[in-house]
Amino acid sequence: MATLAADPFPIELDLPALGLVVIDMQRDFVEAGGFGASLGNDVGLLRAIIPTTARLIAGFREAGLPVIHTRECHRPDLSDLPPAKRDRGNPALRIGDEGPMGRILIAGEPGADIIPELYPIEGETVIDKPGKGAFYATPFGEVLKAKGLRQLVFAGVTTEVCVQTTMREANDRGFECILATDATESYFPAFKQAAIEMIRAQGAIVGWTATTDQIREALGV
């Protein structure tokens, strides 16, 4: 066991049952010309967390603990993309359209892949998910069970959408969840702050929050 100096109060980590989940650090969200930019967002905000997220991933690898990556993407025939998702808003490009990095958020296209700076290494699990939460229509739950995990650290984007959705889903399934506050980001800084406060409100109602340095210290790396 190791103590993590988290908010709203410290949490004891069971290291053999601890894993890192890195949500949707994909080119379509983080690089210019992708889906995030087509919605009018400043991708530079998301790119700013790449070095910290890399340090967090390196810490888990050094500690010999599992790292799981997710990618939000859809089948080429769009059979898993409901109109309510494809048709929302007025973006310059929609999911499935041709973009600078291939078809937007389509499995197997360059833009849907994880950015090179955080790319999975051999043996790390990658979950392709058609929804915001990682449990929906994926084997994510089975993967966590097979790895014997019950505590999860979360990083990635965006804080208030895919990260928070997956944390809430995990919390409902009995996992203890920790958000790495400097390894997650939003296109809207106020949304990130609000999500952090919601997650740790009322005695960690969804989970705990901590910095990458605090998490690495608890891992002993």
Closest residue by Cα to residue 178 from 147, 155, 158, 145: 155
162 classed as catalytic: yes
What residues have CB less than 8 Å from 195, skipping those under 6 apart? 159, 160, 163, 164, 186
The structure tokens listed for 23 are 């949500």
Question: Residue 139 in 3-state DSSP?
Answer: coil
Closest residue by Cα to residue 207 from 143, 49, 215: 215
5 neighbors 214 (Cβ within 8 angstroms):
yes
129 classed as catalytic: yes
Q: Which helix (H) or strand (E) holds 58?
A: helix 50-63
Antiparallel, parallel or unpaired: β 18-23 and 151-157: parallel
Which residue of the set 162, 177, 182, 192 is catalytic?
162
The pair phi, psi for residue 179, each rounded to 5°, is -100, 125
Sole residue written with tokens 């929302």:
88
Closest residue by Cα to residue 108 from 121, 116, 96, 92: 96
Which residue of the set 129, 177, 182, 192 is catalytic?
129
- Give catalytic residue positions: 24, 129, 162
